[in-house]
Amino acid sequence: MNDLPAQFASLPVKNPFAGQQVSLDAVESALRVRAAYSIFQSVVQGVMKDKANYQSRVLFNEVYQQDQVTFSIYHCVYYTVWAARHYLGSNKISCPNLKRHTEQLVLLYGLTELAKDSGALFDCGYFAPGAGA
Note whether residue 14 is domain-resident.
no
The tally of domains found in the chain comes to 1
Range of the domain at 75: 22-120
Note whether residue 79 is domain-resident.
yes
User: In the prediction, which pLDDT does 97 show?
Assistant: 95
User: In the prediction, which pLDDT does 121 show?
Assistant: 92
User: In the prediction, which pLDDT does 122 show?
Assistant: 92
- Note the pLDDT tens digit of each residue in 73-95: 999 999 999 999 999 999 889 99
Q: Which parts of the chain sit beneath pLDDT 50?
A: 133
Would residue 105 be called left, alpha or beta, if left means φ above 0 and alpha means ψ between -120 and 50 degrees?
A: alpha
User: In the prediction, which pLDDT does 103 show?
Assistant: 95
Find all residues with CB under 8 Å of 25, minimum gap 6, and list them. Answer: 17, 85
Find all residues with CB under 8 Å of 59, minimum gap 6, and list them. Answer: 47, 50, 51
Contacts 24+ apart (CB under 8 A), 103-107: 103/24, 106/24, 106/81, 107/22, 107/23, 107/24, 107/27
Note whether residue 91 is domain-resident.
yes
User: In the prediction, which pLDDT does 56 show?
Assistant: 63
Note whether residue 115 is domain-resident.
yes
Note whether residue 66 is domain-resident.
yes
Q: Where are the beta strands (DSSP E) in 35-117?
A: none
Note whether residue 126 is domain-resident.
no
For residue 131, which amino acid is it?
A
Note whether residue 69 is domain-resident.
yes
Whole-prediction pTM value? 0.81
